[in-house]
Each structure stands twice: as structure tokens, then as C-alpha cells.
Copies of this chain bind each other. A is one copy, B any other.
């Protein structure tokens, strides 16, 4: 219950009008999250203190406890935010891919080039022991899957690709494999290139191109020789 109650007002609270305070609040939160993310990704949870983050954001430690209450809550919020940023960047990176293979490769290269998944996995591990932080993690995973599904479904529809599984499963599978491969690979100090190769290998094909789908139909149904190649 305490999580919803406002803590002590930090020293020097400007007491502007509500709207101004909210805008300023959002700005400060964002600056604190940026500094936290940078330090946590570099040094991990136990290697980073609230004082380090305050110094990195040119803020007071009391502002961190005012906006986030605990270092662990800040860790999880920063990791969830970065994970959703990564998911969007990954979709962008794959927008132009013209074949299922190029599409999967673009997604995997984007995901393995960043440590955002490893950061998020650390937040997930932490949340196991801190179930008060689970609702934010749950919302993040729901958004991750919903946005992944939307992007994938629109991509295969636009190109006329045939998904090898239900699109919903494809998107969940993508992130589960990403988390598994990154948690393993980071422990062994693997390079981005090695992570990318391993993830591509484990993921396998996600869809077949329009031409293959047509060919499969030809074999199965002895249909006419039409090939709806890449309509985008």
C-alpha cells in the first residue's frame, strides 16, 4: 500500500501550479532515468548507489527517493523503459527488409547490438524477489508482446509472407529466445557478433516468402503458375 502514498516533499519543492509541477516532474524523472540507465548498464545494481545516480544526474539523492522510492524500483523502471525503446528501434531497423530472412536478421542484429535485453533480464531476476515491482514488469512484457505482434502481423501481411507459426507465438518466441540467449551469452562474455549468430541459429526461420508460399501451394494443390512476389 505504501507504494501509492506520496513520500515527504523534497527540500526546495517549487510548489508551482499543478500543471507546471507535473511537467517539471516528468522532466526530472526522465533525467534521473537517463543517468540511472547509464550507470546500471555499466556497473549493475550492486555496483551503483543512489548517490552515484544523483551525482550523474546533477540532482539530490532525495529527488530519487521522492520519484522512485528505492534503488531497486528505479532499476526496474529504467530497464523496462530501455526495453521498450529497444523494441521500437528494432522494429524500425527491420522496416525495409524485403524477405523474411532479411527481416529476422535485421531484428536480431538490432537486439544483440545493445545490452538492453540483458539489463531487462537483470530487472526480471530482481523482480522475482521483489513482487511489489511485478506490475510494471508485467505491463512492459504485455506491451512488448502486443507491439511485437502488431509489427510482425503488419509486416507479413504487407509482403504476403506465410508465418510458420501463429503470429502471436512468433513474437513471444522471439523475446523468450532473446532473453535466454542474452542471459547465457553475457555470462560467458560473448561478443555481439557471437550473440547474433547464436540467436539466428536458435530462432531459425519465422516465415516463408510469398514466392515460397506460392510454391508450396503449387505442390499441394497443383495450382496455376502465379507468383505474388513481394508486393510492397
Q: Enumerate chain A interface residues (CB-CB to B < 8 A).
A: 43-44, 46-47, 118, 121-125, 127-129, 131, 134, 137-138, 141, 165, 169, 172-173, 175-181, 183-184, 186-189, 198, 201-202, 204
Contacts and interface: CB of A to CB of B under 8 A. Distances in A.
* Interface of A, helix, strand, loop or mixed by DSSP: helix
Nearest to A178: B180
Given A44-B128, A128-B44, A138 B188 contact: yes
Task: Name, among A124, A176, A201, the residue most crowded by chain B CB atoms within 10 Å (CB to CB).
Answer: A176
A125 to B, nearest CB: 5
Nearest to A168: B201
Contacts of A198: 172
A129 B43 CA distance: 8
B121 A183 contact: yes
A137 to B, nearest CB: 5
Given A176-B181, A180-B178, A202-B173, A187 B47 contact: no
